[in-house]
């Protein structure tokens, strides 16, 4: 099967999208960018191929056994991956204990760790088997990490092993786990997944058929912040500006203006009716007003990044914030708090302030035309979206604002479209 | 206005060797000035009155050139730090801080020779507020007279007759008497006329060189190469025999490249295949000059016209020094330097360059140091795009502060921009 | 309410009104009157008034305006003032102006004049190149010619070309204005608790946008009122605030400095309103008189060349002595070339004279004052402990 790959190497996450000959999306993958760009690109790509295979599988299994069985298989597959990573974490921690922990503590430490890993594995199984599981991060580092911290707090001291030691071990080893090319491939985990759901014959046959299909990768285009580090020849690299424009056009064909707010930068892009960029502006070297700014604020308030937006939405008024400088953000926040201002009202002001920065970039690039598409990590923040909606309305009047649930893949999708466009010579 | 030096020779043409020798000789003379008795006049590139200075047998020294050379030689970071330690704000122009840091670190010039103290600070106030403070600051370090020469800004797009008169009045009332005093010589109008005639001769050849970029391929890069070409005429050699010879030679070489269908010599060799013809507004970054240039040349982008190479005079717009009206022509010269042009005139200049040189695009390099250049460039971007239909790129750096040169950021923008031009071309073609 | 309070309430209302209602009302009451905006630092208001026009100082949007369009025109390393000026213009708050003057304060304001020419082609825009050369025959004559050109041009815009008598009347009026401002400054220096700077500043800010006659009435009334109900005397350090001539600090910063224990007894705030240090002659050629007054008797400021090589060194000690101050606060707007490039020279002169100094930067929309409170408070305490100069 002929296919085309786009990889978007962002500062925080790396995304991959696979397109078929007809331009339809076959698969998508995402992973932490870590410090190893090659590996991140490899993992994201592999994951995209896995979802592509599951895509093929879906048709077969749905016809033969219905969606429910397919969903169970998919979940079982992910669980198998997760358990393998957990096992690897355990191995590394054990080795670390042997090397670094004083002998008198070794035995008790190993016992606590083993106990904790077992509990986490059990909890993972429960989560995966839950038909309606609670929402959580997509990344192993976060899910395993939060369970590990909780357990370390509960079980460390009673067993005479300090919390700090346990956390130190985890922090050291999780980096290695993330930086090792763990075998996440389709064939390695599919058997385990099949076994876990009882190995029904109809599913096995469908699996074998899908597994047998060869993906013929015709071409690949890389993009994103770290694109120059991708192991690709120069001709296969496109600027993320162009990819975002084309990707947004593919998602919403009437798009004329695109705003992307990522971790490190903000981009305002104008595209024509074919998704070709006609003008763009990026924030200057100062990262004021980017996603990173919200990260600082979340740290300062000691809450999770994803909690910021919902908290800001509870505001009763919007406090005027003048500085979107990451350096001053903390000071301004503390001063407002000390004056008795409510957290949610300050947060509403902070969200408005970062969107104001984006508005000036949009104005520089040529304004906001209809339709208007918002992408990037900050597009998932409801308070930022509300501020953008308000300011767009105030300054440009009625505009259709598009936000895709898959907006994080916009750049990778654009890359894959470039790959396909070039290969097909259109 | 790069005027160095063995480590960054980009072309081994005869003109390059000439330039190198001229400059080395000049700095040697400067070093000997305290003994030889030749008076030294510190002044600025925009509005420099080299012919007048030379007519009194005095030597010009240009602190901006020293600052940019310090940037190219990797010294500016320490010099700036030195000045900031002494109380200078991180917000202000880095040329000034670099110059003051150099002074505080022994005042060794770009060719390794010691720089002499000034006998006169000639504050030619031409389109840059910082110039005024720069020499007020230097005045605190040196016990010498300062002449303030106010060049009225072309706020209405031209040097008004009253403004011209004001400049001439100042030259007569303040500058000439000061020059007579420090040199011990009487003002000699014939000698001044002689230098002005030589200036005009070199200016003719420089303009021919600049216009050569209308060819395809362009035989020169009018920005990265351009700063070398304008070096002699912007610094100490306008109105001199050496200057005339340099430009005659340069013109010959460029004409030979046109005949041979060759492009300019870049850090990576001859750029004969040119995919993008660009116009550039704003000064270059000096601390990563070659890296910056390479970002263009690697993409096969050549600069066909730039505004920065006009800060020492807008000869390509028609101005020539005119020996028949020596003081008036110097007033006209000062008034017309690029730094002294108003925003509408700067926009017109870019629009005309894009048309006259058949450019595919234009790049604004906005430097943090220089409000004279930078304040309003985003409006220029918008206006030039509107009037030409050609998209522009906006990148940001600094003159000589390496902290403000982010290679990844600039490369990203430039690449995105050139790819955008490509995508638009393909759209138009299909 | 006391007279003092009534006047300050009025001034606060004018200060906070970014739609310039007071100026608009003056225009609607006088159909032949037109308005001329001018940016900091100095514009010859006499010429504007004599041309049947209302001078309106444009000092930015302070901390009350949300910048949406203004930031689109400026990089992060340029001061805040031009952003809010563009914001005011782009939101139609300056649409009552028939002309705008941009004095040669710095390159940012200079270039803003060209941006105005491009963005508002129907408006009369003039860049005012102030004379730096103090020779009356050279710099004086140049400025005189500039003033005559301005008189012609404003005459074309207003339909009334100022006659010599118009100019003399305007000079007389502004001699009165400057007298009352000097009187206010003198009274504040003598008894600063009676004239806190937050009040004085509001009054003078209002004076920048209302008719000069109205300002004169208010200012005279205020001078009388300060003795009626003055706040109790407080023992505070006496400071001068230097560097605030263009982009204005937020009112909160002025309050913060005083409440942290410093009386401001001299400052650069709105310095254009008292740029000419002496009365301008009303006899003879009024244009020549205005030019001569500027050349020979203008305040020393960072926006003008200092011909005296010792001028920068000695200026701070002179001002401190004249104001009987104990110390200097160098308060510069971020990215302000004139204030920041001047500071090392002024400060070293002050320190050589043994004058205590502190320095900080602000923007017109600075929203947090904690660090200023701490610095100014510590400064005041240390002056009290160790004594001033």
This model of the complex carries an ipTM of 0.96
Q: Which CATH number fits domain C236-275+302-389: 3.40.50.1370, 1.10.4030.10, 3.40.50.300, 3.40.50.11900?
A: 3.40.50.11900
CB contact under 8 A, B346 and C114: yes
pLDDT at C313: 95
For A258, the 3-state DSSP assignment is strand
One domain, residues B113 and B52: yes
One domain, residues B223 and B346: yes
Contacts of C336 (CB under 8 A, 6+ apart): B91, C79, C106, C243, C246, C247
User: Mean pLDDT across chain A, nearest whole number?
Assistant: 86
Q: What percent of chain B has pLDDT over 70?
A: 97
Inter-residue contact A28 to A138 (CB < 8 Å):
no
pLDDT at C387: 65
Residue of B nearest to C148 (CA): B162
Q: Report the pLDDT averaged over residues B394-411.
A: 92
Split at pLDDT 50, 70, 90, the class of A18 is very high
Residue A387 has pLDDT above 90, yes or no: yes
CB contact under 8 A, A360 and C68: yes
Query: Which residue in B280, B279, B262 sits closest to B271, CA to CA?
Result: B262
Residue of A nearest to B416 (CA): A239
Q: Give the minimum alpha-carbon distance from B304 to chain C in angstroms, rounded to a whole number.
A: 26
Query: Which residue in B283, B418, B306 sits closest to B353, CA to CA?
Result: B306
**C-alpha–C-alpha distance, residues B217 and A210, integer Å:** 55
Helix locations, B109-240, DSSP H: 129-141, 161-170, 176-183, 189-211, 226-229, 231-234
Whole-angstrom CA distances from A233 to A227, A229, A240, A353 are 11, 10, 16, 40
Split at pLDDT 50, 70, 90, the class of A10 is confident
Give the number of residues written for chain A: 426
| Contact B415/A at CB under 8 A | yes
Residue B114 has pLDDT above 90, yes or no: yes
Q: Which of B194-208, B361-375, C63-77 has the lowest mean pLDDT?
A: C63-77
Q: Which residues does chain B have within 8 Å of residue A280's beta carbon, measured at their own beta carbons?
A: 416, 420
Query: Which residue in A67, C115, A187, C157 sits closest to B379, CA to CA?
Result: C115
pLDDT at A297: 84
The DSSP call for residue C276 is B
For B121, the 3-state DSSP assignment is strand
For B384, the 3-state DSSP assignment is helix
Whole-angstrom CA distances from B320 to B160, B204, B316 are 18, 8, 9
Cross-chain CB nearest to B375 (options C111, C132, C139) = C111
One domain, residues B233 and B277: yes
Residue A425 has pLDDT above 80, yes or no: no
Domain edges within chain A:
74-179, 253-403
Last residue of one domain, picked from the residues B187, B221, B237: B187
Structure tokens at C244: 């605030």
**Helices A103-129 & A67-100 angle (0-180, nearest 10):** 170
Q: Report the pLDDT averaged over residues A48-54.
A: 85
Residue B380 lies in a domain: yes
Inter-residue contact A315 to A348 (CB < 8 Å):
yes
One domain, residues B172 and B229: no
Q: Which residues pair with C55 in a beta bridge?
A: C36
Residue B1 lies in a domain: no
The residues in B 376-405 lying below 8 A from A, measured between CB atoms, are: 378, 381-382, 385, 391, 394, 396, 404
One domain, residues B163 and B264: no
**C-alpha–C-alpha distance, residues C94 and C122, integer Å:** 13
Q: Which of A280-289, B247-256, C158-167 has the lowest mean pLDDT?
A: A280-289
One domain, residues B147 and B161: yes
Q: Report the pLDDT averaged over residues B188-205.
A: 98
* pLDDT tens-digit series, residues A56-79: 877 777 777 778 888 888 888 888
Residue of C nearest to B153 (CA): C129
**C-alpha–C-alpha distance, residues A398 and C219, integer Å:** 48
Residue B199 lies in a domain: yes
Q: What percent of chain B has pLDDT over 90?
A: 92
Split at pLDDT 50, 70, 90, the class of B9 is very low
CB contact under 8 A, A277 and B423: yes
CB contact under 8 A, C68 and A321: no
**C-alpha–C-alpha distance, residues C345 and B136, integer Å:** 9
Inter-residue contact C180 to C221 (CB < 8 Å):
no
Q: What percent of chain C has pLDDT over 90?
A: 92
Residue of B nearest to C345 (CA): B137
Residue A225 has pLDDT above 80, yes or no: no
pLDDT at A285: 57
Owner of token pair 């510069």: C332
One domain, residues B157 and B302: no
CB contact under 8 A, C67 and A395: no
Q: Which of A308-322, B3-17, B208-222 has the lowest mean pLDDT?
A: B3-17
Residue C170 has pLDDT above 80, yes or no: yes
User: Mean pLDDT across chain C, nearest whole number?
Assistant: 96
Q: Which of A104-113, B87-96, B374-383, C280-289 has the lowest mean pLDDT?
A: A104-113
For C259, the 3-state DSSP assignment is helix
| Contact A335/C at CB under 8 A | yes
Residue A307 has pLDDT above 90, yes or no: no
Residue A20 has pLDDT above 80, yes or no: yes
Q: Give the minimum alpha-carbon distance from B65 to chain A in angstroms, rounded to a whole number.
A: 27
Split at pLDDT 50, 70, 90, the class of B6 is very low
CB contact under 8 A, A228 and B391: no
Domain that holds residue B71: 6-187
Last residue of one domain, picked from the residues B167, B187, B207: B187
* pLDDT tens-digit series, residues C95-142: 999 999 999 999 999 999 999 999 999 999 999 999 999 999 999 999
Query: Which residue in A290, A288, A258, A281 sits closest to A271, CA to CA?
Result: A258
Q: Which residues does chain B have within 8 Å of residue A276's beta carbon, measured at their own beta carbons?
A: 420, 423-424, 427
The residues in A 357-386 lying below 8 A from C, measured between CB atoms, are: 357, 359-361, 363-364
* pLDDT tens-digit series, residues A117-128: 999 999 988 888
Residue B11 has pLDDT above 50, yes or no: no
Cross-chain CB nearest to A284 (options B396, B411, B420) = B396
Last residue of one domain, picked from the residues B187, B215, B237: B187
Preferred mutation among C80, C107, C145 to probe B, highest tally of B CBs within 10 A: C107
Structure tokens at B343: 């925003």
Name the strand (E) or helix (H) holding C171. Answer: helix C164-190
∠ CA(A180), CA(A182), CA(A184), 5° rounding? 150
The residues in A 12-41 lying below 8 A from B, measured between CB atoms, are: none
Split at pLDDT 50, 70, 90, the class of A184 is low
Query: Which residue in B186, B180, B197 sits closest to B325, CA to CA?
Result: B197
Q: Report the pLDDT averaged over residues B129-134.
A: 97
Q: What percent of chain C has pLDDT over 70?
A: 99
List all chains that touch chain B, counting a touch as 3 or more CB pairs closer than 8 Å: A, C
* pLDDT tens-digit series, residues C180-211: 999 999 999 999 999 999 999 999 999 999 99
pLDDT at A327: 62
Structure tokens at B183: 């040199």
Q: Which residues does chain B have within 8 Å of residue A277's beta carbon, measured at their own beta carbons?
A: 416, 420, 423
Q: Which residues does chain B have within 8 Å of residue C347's beta carbon, measured at their own beta carbons?
A: 87
Domain edges within chain C:
236-275+302-389
One domain, residues B272 and B421: yes
CB contact under 8 A, A322 and C371: no
pLDDT at A182: 56
| Contact A398/B at CB under 8 A | no
**C-alpha–C-alpha distance, residues B399 and B70, integer Å:** 11
For B280, the 3-state DSSP assignment is strand
Residue A247 has pLDDT above 70, yes or no: yes
Split at pLDDT 50, 70, 90, the class of B167 is very high
Residue B1 has pLDDT above 70, yes or no: no
The residues in C 30-69 lying below 8 A from A, measured between CB atoms, are: 63, 66-69
Owner of token pair 């500085």: A323
Preferred mutation among B84, B86, B89 to probe C, highest tally of C CBs within 10 A: B89
**C-alpha–C-alpha distance, residues C70 and C81, integer Å:** 10
Lateral strand order in the sheet of C237-242: C262-267, C237-242, C327-333, C357-362
Q: Give the minimum alpha-carbon distance from A304 to chain C in angstroms, rounded to a whole number.
A: 26
Split at pLDDT 50, 70, 90, the class of B7 is very low
Q: Select the more confidently predicted residue: A335 or A356.
A: A356
pLDDT at B10: 46
Split at pLDDT 50, 70, 90, the class of B272 is very high
Residue of A nearest to B394 (CA): A281
pLDDT at C18: 97
| Contact A328/C at CB under 8 A | yes
Residue A156 has pLDDT above 80, yes or no: yes
One domain, residues B314 and B196: yes
Q: Which of A227-241, A300-314, B190-204, C52-66 has the lowest mean pLDDT?
A: A227-241
- CATH number for the domain spanning B170: value is 3.40.50.11890
Residue of C nearest to B139 (CA): C309
pLDDT at A293: 82
For A139, the 3-state DSSP assignment is coil
Split at pLDDT 50, 70, 90, the class of B2 is low
Residue of A nearest to B391 (CA): A279
List all chains that touch chain C, counting a touch as 3 or more CB pairs closer than 8 Å: A, B
Residue A423, phi then psi, degrees to nearest 5: -65, -35
Cross-chain CB nearest to B88 (options C110, C141, C344) = C344
pLDDT at A286: 60
Structure tokens at B201: 């001769």
Q: Which of A333-337, C275-279, C289-293 has the lowest mean pLDDT?
A: A333-337
Half-sphere exposure of B22 (CA within 13 A, CB side): 22
Instruction: Please give the CATH superfamily to which domain A253-403 belongs.
Output: ATPase, nucleotide binding domain (3.30.420.40)
One domain, residues B327 and B416: yes
Q: Give the minimum alpha-carbon distance from C368 to chain A in angstroms, rounded to a whole number.
A: 6
Inter-residue contact A18 to A419 (CB < 8 Å):
no
Q: Which residues does chain A have within 8 Å of residue C72's beta carbon, measured at their own beta carbons?
A: 360-361, 363-364
Preferred mutation among B133, B137, B156 to probe C, highest tally of C CBs within 10 A: B133
**C-alpha–C-alpha distance, residues C3 and C5, integer Å:** 5
Preferred mutation among B419, B424, B430 to probe A, highest tally of A CBs within 10 A: B419
| Contact A356/C at CB under 8 A | yes
One domain, residues B132 and B220: no
Classify burial at A231, counting beta carbons within 10 Å of its beta carbon; exposed 0-12, middle 13-18, buried 19 or more. Answer: exposed
Residue B347 has pLDDT above 80, yes or no: yes
Query: Which residue in B391, B394, B386 sits closest to B410, CA to CA?
Result: B394
What does R_g of chain C's alpha carbons equal in angstroms? Answer: 20
pLDDT at A324: 66
Inter-residue contact C193 to C186 (CB < 8 Å):
no
Q: Report the pLDDT averaged over residues B411-423.
A: 93
Q: Report the pLDDT averaged over residues A268-279.
A: 94
Q: Which residues does chain A have within 8 Å of residue C75's beta carbon, measured at their own beta carbons?
A: 284
Whole-angstrom CA distances from C286 to A21, C47, C52, C144, C172 are 83, 10, 16, 10, 10
One domain, residues B344 and B402: yes
């Amino acid at each position: 099967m002929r296919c085309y790959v786009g990889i978007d190497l962002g500062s925080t996450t790396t995304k991959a999208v696979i397109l078929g000959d007809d331009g339809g999306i076959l698969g998508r993958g995402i992973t932490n960018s870590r410090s190893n760009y090659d590996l991140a690109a490899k993992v994201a790509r592999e994951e995209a191929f896995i979802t592509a295979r599951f895509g093929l599988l879906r048709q077969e299994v749905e016809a033969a056994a219905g969606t429910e069985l397919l969903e169970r298989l998919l979940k079982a597959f992910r669980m198998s991956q997760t358990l393998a990573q957990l096992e690897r974490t355990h191995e590394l921690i054990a080795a670390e204990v042997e090397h670094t922990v004083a002998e008198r503590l070794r035995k008790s430490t190993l016992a606590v760790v083993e106990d904790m890993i077992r509990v986490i594995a059990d909890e993972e199984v429960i989560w995966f088997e839950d038909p309606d599981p609670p929402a959580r991060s997509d990344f192993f580092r976060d899910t395993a990490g939060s369970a590990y911290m909780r357990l370390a707090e509960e079980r460390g001291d009673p067993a005479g092993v300090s919390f700090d030691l346990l956390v130190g071990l985890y922090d050291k080893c999780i980096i290695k786990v993330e930086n090792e090319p763990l075998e996440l491939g389709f064939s390695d985990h599919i058997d385990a997944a099949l076994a876990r759901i009882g190995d029904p014959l109809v599913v096995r046959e469908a699996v074998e058929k899908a597994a047998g299909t060869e993906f013929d990768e015709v071409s690949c285009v890389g993009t994103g912040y770290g694109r120059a580090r991708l192991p690709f020849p120069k001709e296969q690299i496109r600027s993320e500006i162009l990819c975002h424009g084309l990707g947004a056009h593919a998602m919403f064909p009437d798009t004329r203006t695109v705003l992307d707010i990522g971790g490190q930068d903000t981009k305002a892009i104008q595209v024509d009716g074919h998704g070709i960029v006609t003008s763009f502006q990026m924030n200057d070297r100062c990262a004021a007003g980017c996603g990173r700014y919200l990260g600082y604020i979340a740290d300062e308030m000691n809450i999770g990044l994803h909690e910021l937006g919902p908290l800001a939405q509870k505001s009763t008024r919007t406090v005027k914030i003048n500085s979107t400088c990451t350096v001053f953000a903390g000071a301004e926040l503390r001063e407002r708090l000390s004056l008795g201002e409510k957290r949610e009202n300050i947060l509403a002001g902070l969200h408005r302030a970062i969107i104001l920065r984006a508005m000036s970039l949009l104005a520089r690039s040529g304004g906001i035309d209809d339709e208007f598409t918002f992408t990037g990590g900050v597009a998932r923040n409801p308070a930022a979206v509300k501020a953008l909606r308000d300011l767009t309305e105030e300054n440009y009047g009625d505009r259709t604002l598009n936000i895709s649930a898959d907006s994080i893949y916009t750049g990778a999708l654009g890359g894959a479209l470039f790959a396909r466009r070039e290969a097909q010579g259109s | 206005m790069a005027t160095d030096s063995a480590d960054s020779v980009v072309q081994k043409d005869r003109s390059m060797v000439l330039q190198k020798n001229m400059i080395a000789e000049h700095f040697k003379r400067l070093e000997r000035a305290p003994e030889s008795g030749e008076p030294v006049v510190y002044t600025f590139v925009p509005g420099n009155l080299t012919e007048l200075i030379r007519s009194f047998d005095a030597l010009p020294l240009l602190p901006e050139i020293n600052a940019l050379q310090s940037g190219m030689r990797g010294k500016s970071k320490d010099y700036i730090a030195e000045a900031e330690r002494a109380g200078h704000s991180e917000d202000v122009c880095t040329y000034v801080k670099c110059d003051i840091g150099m002074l505080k670190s022994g005042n060794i010039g770009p060719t390794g020779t010691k720089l002499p103290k000034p006998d006169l600070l000639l504050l030619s106030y031409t389109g840059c507020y910082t110039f005024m403070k720069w020499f007020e600051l230097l005045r605190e370090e040196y016990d010498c007279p300062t002449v303030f020469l106010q060049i009225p800004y072309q706020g209405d797009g031209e040097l008004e007759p009253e403004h011209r008169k004001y400049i001439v009045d100042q030259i007569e009332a303040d500058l000439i008497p000061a020059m007579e005093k420090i040199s011990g010589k009487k003002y000699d109008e014939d000698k001044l006329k002689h230098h002005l005639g030589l200036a005009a001769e070199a200016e003719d050849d420089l303009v021919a060189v600049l216009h050569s970029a209308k060819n395809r391929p362009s035989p020169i890069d009018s920005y990265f190469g351009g700063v070398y070409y304008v070096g002699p005429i912007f610094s100490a050699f306008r109105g001199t025999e050496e200057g005339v010879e340099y430009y005659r030679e340069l013109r010959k070489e460029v004409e030979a490249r046109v005949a041979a269908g060759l492009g300019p010599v870049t850090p990576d060799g001859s750029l004969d295949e040119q995919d993008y013809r660009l116009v550039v507004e704003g000064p270059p970054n000096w601390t990563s000059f070659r890296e910056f240039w390479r970002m263009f040349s690697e993409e096969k982008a050549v600069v066909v016209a730039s505004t920065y190479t006009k800060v020492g005079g807008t000869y390509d717009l028609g101005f020539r020094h005119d020996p028949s009206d020596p003081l008036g022509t110097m007033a006209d010269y000062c008034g017309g330097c690029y730094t002294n042009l108003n925003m509408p005139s700067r926009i017109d200049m870019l629009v005309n360059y894009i048309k006259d040189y058949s450019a595919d695009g234009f790049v604004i390099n906005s430097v943090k140091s220089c409000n004279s250049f930078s304040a309003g460039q985003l409006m220029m971007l918008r206006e030039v795009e509107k009037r030409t239909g050609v998209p522009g790129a906006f990148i940001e750096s600094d003159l000589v502060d390496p902290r403000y040169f982010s290679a990844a950021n600039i490369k990203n923008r430039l690449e995105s921009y050139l790819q955008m031009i490509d995508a638009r071309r393909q759209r138009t073609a299909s | 309410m006391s007279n003092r309070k009534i006047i300050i309430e009025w001034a606060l209302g004018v200060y906070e009104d970014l739609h310039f209602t007071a100026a608009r009302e003056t225009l609607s009451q006088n159909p032949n009157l037109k308005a001329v905006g001018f940016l900091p630092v100095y514009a010859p208001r006499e010429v504007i008034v004599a041309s049947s026009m209302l001078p309106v100082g444009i000092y930015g949007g302070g901390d009350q305006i949300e910048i949406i369009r203004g930031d689109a025109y400026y990089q992060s390393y340029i001061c805040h003032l031009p952003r809010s000026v563009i914001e005011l213009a782009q939101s139609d708050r300056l649409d009552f102006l028939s002309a705008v003057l941009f004095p040669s304060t710095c390159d940012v304001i200079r270039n803003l004049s060209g941006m105005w020419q491009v963005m508002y082609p129907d408006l009369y825009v003039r860049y005012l190149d102030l004379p730096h050369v103090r020779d009356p025959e050279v710099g004086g004559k140049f400025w005189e010619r500039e003033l005559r050109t301005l008189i012609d041009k404003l005459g074309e815009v207003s339909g009334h070309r100022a006659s010599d008598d118009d100019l003399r009347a305007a000079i007389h009026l502004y001699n009165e204005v400057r007298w009352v401002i000097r009187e206010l400054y003198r009274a504040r220096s003598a008894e600063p608790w009676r004239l806190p700077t937050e009040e004085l500043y509001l009054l003078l800010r209002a004076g920048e946008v209302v008719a000069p006659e109205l300002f004169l009435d208010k200012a005279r009334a205020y001078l009388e009122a300060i003795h009626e109900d003055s706040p109790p005397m407080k023992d505070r350090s006496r400071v001068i605030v230097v560097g605030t001539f263009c982009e204005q600090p937020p009112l909160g910063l002025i309050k913060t400095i005083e409440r942290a224990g410093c009386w401001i007894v001299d400052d650069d705030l709105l310095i254009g309103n008292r740029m000419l240090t002496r009365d301008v002659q009303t006899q003879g050629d009024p244009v020549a008189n205005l030019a001569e007054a500027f050349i020979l008797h203008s305040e020393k400021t960072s926006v003008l060349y200092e011909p005296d090589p010792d001028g920068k060194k000695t200026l701070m000690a002179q001002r401190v002595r004249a104001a009987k101050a104990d110390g200097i606060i160098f308060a510069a707007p971020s990215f302000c070339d004139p204030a920041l490039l001047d500071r090392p020279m002024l400060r070293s002169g002050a320190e050589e004279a043994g004058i205590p100094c502190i320095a900080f930067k602000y923007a017109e929309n600075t929203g947090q004052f904690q660090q200023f409170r701490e610095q100014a408070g510590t400064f005041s305490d240390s002056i009290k402990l160790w004594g001033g100069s």
